[in-house]
Amino acid sequence: MTIIRPYGDTTGDGMVQLSFTLPIPHDKRAEGAAIQLANKMGMDPALLVHAKQMGDGFTFFVVYGRVHHLVDTEKVQVVERDFPLLSAKEVNATIKRRLRRRLNVVGACIGTDAHTVGIDAILNVKGIAGEKGLEYYRELSVTNMGAQVSVPDLVETARANKADAVLVSQVVTQRDAHLHNTRAMSAAFREALPAGKRPLLIVGGPRFDELMTDELGVDRIFGRGTTPGEVASYLVHALLSRKEKETAQ
């Protein structure tokens, strides 16, 4: 069966929970507005289960209700992992044997983004959830530029370090800042370096759509839950694939 509907209390009942904020003080009219919005979004019936004032003039709501939409799982588009997942030992051995030099990585949070938790989880030795970051890999040379890095500084550091890959984390998403910053970065690298000399451009963050690589001008997008091992494995796969293509030409 490829057609599914949401599950709430019983299988196939179509019940979902939705949270949102409206720019209105909390009162009965605000609660009515929340229900009206939920109805217009296709929730019928819609039940208000939580409402809380969020500062002056804003209210946060949680609404529970039934939707009648169906999902065809055969038509769902996702980015599947198309490279083998390697251990740290295998990554190091492959780089040493095939690349015959250390693999250079530069990472940063660009623009006004000061949220370094994501980039640090991937790059720093301590890593995340018990998995070591890229600094732990002896065949990787890692430069973590930290937060609020300008695109020109990132390009210059990548050039100076002869970066094989540039990793950028973007958490700030207001007004699509993560998309604008990524497009500016990819454009800057295209302008500064010829195609054969450009590093892999990799971005990550909770609000990215992994299908937007071509639109944003990057090589790979990683979403929530990405581990350092996945990134390291991708770097090895992508760089060696690029090297093989260059050799064949």
Tell me the average pLDDT across 80-89: 94
Instruction: Give 166-215 pLDDT, tens digit per residue.
Output: 999 999 888 899 999 999 999 999 999 998 899 999 999 988 999 999 99
Phi then psi dihedrals of residue 206, to 5 deg: -70, -20
Angle (deg, nearest 10), helices 177-192 and 151-160: 40
- Catalytic residue selected from 40, 126, 197, 243: 126
What's this model's pTM, rounded to 2 decimal places?
A: 0.83
Tell me the average pLDDT across 98-109: 96
User: Per-residue pLDDT for 144 more than 70?
Assistant: yes
Instruction: Give 7-59 pLDDT, tens digit per residue.
Output: 999 999 999 999 999 999 999 999 999 999 999 999 999 999 999 999 899 99
Tell which residue, 177, 182, 179, 209, has the closest CA to residue 112.
177
Count the Cβ atoms, other than its own, within 10 Å of residue 234: 23
243: annotated active-site residue: no
pLDDT confidence bin for 129, thresholds 50/70/90: confident
User: Per-residue pLDDT for 246 more than 80?
Assistant: no
Tell me the average pLDDT across 224-243: 94
Tell which residue, 215, 213, 212, has the closest CA to residue 201.
213
Whole-number pLDDT of residue 64? 97
Whole-number pLDDT of residue 1? 62
With helix as H, strand as E and coil as C, how does 84-115 read? Answer: CCCCHHHHHHHHHHHHCCCEEEEEECECCCCC
- Burial class from Cβ neighbours inside 10 Å (0-12, 13-18, 19+) for residue 10 reads exposed
Whole-angstrom distance, CA of residue 9 vs CA of residue 173: 34
With helix as H, strand as E and coil as C, how does the chain read? Answer: CCEECCCCCCCCCCEEEEEEEECCCCCHHHHHHHHHHHHHCCCCCEEEEEEEECCCCCEEEEEEEECCCCEEHHHCCCCCCCCCCCCHHHHHHHHHHHHCCCEEEEEECECCCCCCHHHHHHHCCCCECCECCHHHCCCEEEEECCCCECHHHHHHHHHHCCCCEEEEECCCCHHHHHHHHHHHHHHHHHHHCCHHHCCEEEEECCCCCCCCHHHHCCCEEECCCCCHHHHHHHHHHHHHHHHHHHHHC
Whole-number mean pLDDT of the chain? Answer: 94
Question: Which of 41-71 are b and which e, b meaning 16 or more Cβ less than 10 Å from the residue's Cβ?
Answer: eebeebebeebeeeeeeebbbebbbbbeeee
Whole-number pLDDT of residue 173? 83
Whole-number pLDDT of residue 196? 85
